[in-house]
């Protein structure tokens, strides 16, 4: 969730309505997974801890 908050600005839903909000969550999750997959393939870390 912290990664979504930092990278995709998911502090508040952009749309009103359950269907559009659900679509936003699904697309955001897909985008984060693509970012993580790219980091895994290239060998870079997504965050410093």
Tens of pLDDT along the chain (49 residues)? 566 666 556 666 666 778 887 888 888 889 888 988 998 999 887 666 6
State phi, psi for 24 to the nearest 5 degrees.
Answer: -60, -40
Phi-psi map region of 16: left, alpha, beta (phi>0 left; psi -120 to 50 alpha): beta
pLDDT reported for residue 18: 83
Rounded to two decimals, what is the model's pTM?
0.62
Q: How far apart are CA 17 and CA 35, in angstroms?
A: 27
């Amino acid at each position: 969730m912290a990664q979504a908050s930092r990278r995709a600005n998911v502090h508040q839903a952009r749309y009103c309505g359950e269907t559009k909000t659900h679509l936003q969550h699904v697309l955001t999750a897909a985008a984060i997974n693509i970012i993580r997959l790219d980091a895994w393939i290239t060998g870079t870390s997504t965050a410093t801890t």
